[in-house]
Chains A and B, each alone.
Chain A
């Protein structure tokens, strides 16, 4: 019998390349990332001699700039894969930085306990939001929006709406691990603080957790189909809660590092952090609807957005223009994936139409031997 025919009717359907290969999304983002980097290199090199975009010193610069948003983006990736979102990370980071700064410079807690206090409060606050989100049907958007506003209030109350200046107690977090290393081209000093390595470590752990642990698998399952996950024995509430707890830990760490860099606890420290991290995660191919995405994509998204911001700084573009450019990047990155999958869907439809016409023509000639055969087979097995 015509085996080709049967495999066509019951086997896999033609699908968009993007849906078929999730890695392709990441790959396409990576390719456009490389294209943009090369373009930026050409633009920034034109005219002035240095510093150019692709130079060791600037790459280390970018890494320092993206490390903190990158750490938080890892947590955001998990939250979004589980089907949630977290708008509160920016204000929570500000709050933590103020708590740690106050702890060190006013409450006399000492560096270690102050950091611990800051991180623990972030974990507790995120866990509380996660508790509400996992136990009710209220949108995570609303709960974390409320969280964002309340955290801002708490932070402003704590610092009396003023900034908390420190005396560099956290400078151990920003020490240069490669002191003395020089850029071979420009001769400028290279900086590699420990938190950049911490960012890569956290990204690695996050990526491995999502891919190789039961916990990670369950996050995907919950984000893909909550009801099916529940009926498959997954504790949906616990999973939805856990991603926020992890997010709290990462925001706590990120905020401490941010404080170490700026040396001042201030409400504007975490401003727009939620927008930047969500943008990074979305550029990295994670679906807002949950169930899809990975850390590799997020990593590229982080570097992507970070590079663009860096390049625009080098080009001395005003911050107003930078906002516009970042916004366009998000829109283009996300719609590019959708447009290309629509194109392949359209092609698949065309192909199906051609196939159907051919099949119809066959039937006119031969009276559909394949179908008739299948039916007699079935009757045989039923009797």
Chain B
């Protein structure tokens, strides 16, 4: 048997969530085994178990070369199981050699043997057919080149298994080719590779087998040869739509936001119209340029090319200040770091964004408190008073404070980036209801979401993003999990 790794009946439970359930999986020597699934299907959790970062629940067994093992980050490395995560873990100020040997320097009498380490680095880089020099500084490399260094690091320490998590996210096509070539080289040398990618093209180019995970459970494993993309996609989707939130539909009004050929901040040539009374969903995989587009529209990143029209009038947003004056609101994804002033009170948080709209020099704390109280009651924020600090609230209530901040500006075009991210199920329903109420008041909503049921149940139309561009638009009946996924991972028929 050339089987190198086998997982049997692996489950992982977090407080309140079952992330993985009875997953069985195996990897052979010299094989590329792809893991496929939507955002949040459980791929990352599985990787973390393989790298030893998480311990599986009792009952799960892991075999390495036929022998049962238990994996910790240390033992995983000793067995030669290397995980290369999506985010680069690099030391910018060090050079390639130092990055590879950091923490595991070859030393004699405590003195690092630079020459020896450099030679080994050089050898591996040549083997990877890379023209990088071991002396290059990490900060001077592109993200594609940094990925190569991480792979080189795995090889220097003799790997048996390499796990690649989204190795090509945000790469140019040239860099993608390089990484795929490297994967093929490694495979020929008998290394087992677990390959996670949102891009089906890559899966079909380098993969030998593919395993589909959905909602923490394994759905199927196929040999890639002879497999069709649509079979794979059908397995990745499959939630019961009757469990989705049922939203009231509102008649569509005038065009509120007209985006023409917008380019910059990693997105290219985006055009769409957003009407009053509708939710335009922006779907796509993480890193496909959705939040980047929102930053552009809101003036938080410079627009390279294109036009933005609000109510038919061309606007230039040099900074968020201009966008707020033009009645735009931006409920960001990371509310703790970009939405809230955590140590400040509800009232102070609610007041802050509207400051650009008033000409007064003075603020009256009493008025501010009164406004804060109004929104606390209106949005049913669970806090004793508007003087409660935001840091003391739960995720859902914090999100409502952010909503209060934007409602207070009198804005009309709302950008929701992951509106229900990190909030409990009850607050989620409340936030959806608030969104529908906004539509009834003739406001317009642009909603970025990775939560499939959310996109499907809330959107009137859906734009699917892929690699910084619009891959397609879906309307009405066509808004299905399968269609969205097909567009976002490039699974459509050529």
Q: Which residues of A contact B (CB under 8 A)?
A: 7, 9-13, 15, 19-20, 211-218, 220-221, 224-225, 227-235, 291-292, 374, 377-378, 381-383
Once the chains bind, are A214 and B341 in contact (CB under 8 Å)? Answer: no
> How many A-B Cβ pairs are below 8 Å?
119
A9: nearest chain-B partner, CB-CB: B394
Chain B nearest CB: distance from A210 CB in Å? Answer: 11
**Cα of A177 to Cα of B425 in the assembled complex, Å:** 68
- Residue B93 at the A interface, CB < 8 A? no
Q: Is residue B245 contacting chain A, with contact meaning CB distance below 8 A?
A: yes
- The answer on a CB contact under 8 Å between B343 and A291 is yes
Residue pair A232, B425 in contact (C-beta under 8 Å): no
Ranked nearest first, the 9 interchain pairs of A and B with the lowest CB-CB distance are A12-B392, A233-B356, A232-B353, A233-B321, A233-B324, A224-B341, A10-B394, A232-B352, A11-B382
Given A230-B320, A231-B320, A232-B405; A225-B342 close (CB under 8 Å): yes
Given contacts A15-B391, A224-B344, 9 further A-B contacts (CB under 8 A): A11-B382, A13-B392, A211-B365, A220-B348, A221-B344, A227-B337, A228-B337, A233-B320, A234-B321
Q: Contact string, B336-362, partner A, CB cutoff 8 A, digits 1/0?
A: 011111111000100111011010111
The proximity string for B residues 385-400 relative to A, scoring 1 for CB distances below 8 Å and 0 otherwise, is 0001101111011000
Contacts of A213 in B (CB 8 A): 361-363
26 A-B pairs, CB-CB below 8 angstroms? A10-B394, A12-B384, A12-B393, A15-B391, A214-B363, A216-B363, A225-B340, A225-B341, A225-B342, A228-B341, A230-B300, A230-B319, A231-B300, A232-B405, A233-B319, A233-B321, A233-B324, A233-B355, A234-B355, A234-B356, A291-B341, A291-B343, A292-B343, A378-B425, A378-B426, A381-B429
Could you tell me if A221 and B429 are in contact, using CB atoms closer than 8 angstroms?
A: no
B339 contacts A228, CB within 8 Å?
yes
Q: Closest residue of chain B to A215, judged by CB?
A: B361
Minimum Cβ distance to chain A for residue B444 (Å): 19
B383 with A12: CB separation less than 8 A: yes
* B99 proximal to A (CB < 8 A): no
| Proximity string of chain B (416-450) to chain A, C-beta cutoff 8 Å, 1 when within and 0 when not | 00000000111101000000000000000000000
Contacts of A224 in B (CB 8 A): 341-344
B412 to chain A: closest CB distance in Å? 15
Tally chain B residues at the interface, Cβ within 8 Å. 52
Q: In the bound complex, what is the Cα–Cα distance between A82 and B427 (angstroms)?
A: 34
Q: Please tell me which one of the listed residues A20, A235, A292, A381 contacts residue B319 in the complex, with CB atoms under 8 A apart.
A: A235
B173 at the interface (CB under 8 A from A): no
Which residue on B lies nearest to A379, using beta carbons?
B243
Most buried by B among A15, A374, A382: A382
Cβ 8 A contact of A221, one of B300, B324, B341, B364 = B341
Contacts of B298 in A (CB 8 A): 231
Instruction: Please give, as numbers and ranges, the residues of chain B lying within 8 Å of A214 by CB-CB distance.
Output: 355, 358, 360-363
Residues of B within 8 A of A225 (CB): 337-338, 340-342
Q: Which residues of the other chain, B, contact A7 by a CB distance below 8 angstroms?
A: 382
Contacting A at CB under 8 A, from B194-238, are none
Give Cα distance in the complex from A377 to B222, angstroms: 41
Contact of A233 with B337 in the complex, beta carbons under 8 Å: no
B160 at the interface (CB under 8 A from A): no
* B365: A residues at CB distance < 8 A: 211-212
Q: In the complex, how many angstroms separate the beta carbon of B292 from the nearest chain A beta carbon? A: 14
Is B246 located at the chain interface by the 8 A CB criterion?
Answer: yes
A-chain residues with CB within 8 Å of residue B353 when the two chains form the complex? 232-233
Residues of B within 8 A of A374 (CB): 426
User: In the bound complex, what is the Cα–Cα distance between A12 and B319 (angstroms)?
Assistant: 34
* Pair B364/A212 contact, Cβ less than 8 Å: yes
A299 and B424 alpha carbons, distance in the complex (Å): 44
B343 in contact with A217 (CB, 8 Å)? no
In whole angstroms, how far apart are the Cα atoms of A381 and B245 in the complex?
8
Chain B residues, CB < 8 A from A383? 246
Does B369 have its Cβ within 8 Å of any Cβ on chain A?
no
Q: Which residues of B contact A19 (CB under 8 A)?
A: 343, 389, 391
Residue pair B363, A231 in contact (C-beta under 8 Å): no
A232 and B323 CA atoms in complex are apart in Å by: 10
Question: Which single residue of chain A is at the shortest CB-CB distance from B339?
Answer: A228
Judged by a CB distance under 8 angstroms, whether B480 is at the interface is no
Q: CB of B330 within 8 A of chain A?
A: yes
Distance in angstroms from B293 CB to nearest chain A CB is 15
**Which residues of chain A have C-beta atoms less than 8 A from B321's C-beta?**
233-235
- A137–chain B nearest beta-carbon distance, Å: 14
Q: Are A231 and B330 in contact, CB atoms less than 8 angstroms apart?
A: yes
Distance in angstroms between the alpha carbons of A212 and B361 in the assembled complex: 9
B159 within 8 A of A: no
Whether B332 is near chain A, meaning CB under 8 Å from some CB there, is yes
B319:A217 contact, CB within 8 angstroms: no
Cα–Cα, bound, A193→B393 (Å): 50
Q: A10: which B residues are within 8 A, CB to CB? A: 382, 394, 396-397, 424, 427
Interface string of B318-329 (1 = CB under 8 A from A): 011101110000
A221 and B363 contact, CB distance less than 8 A: no
The reply to whether B382 and A382 contact each other, CB–CB distance below 8 Å, is no
Find chain A residues with CB under 8 A from B338 CB: 225, 227-228, 231
Q: Which residue of B lies closest to A12 (CB)?
A: B392
| A374 CA / B320 CA spacing, docked (Å) | 39
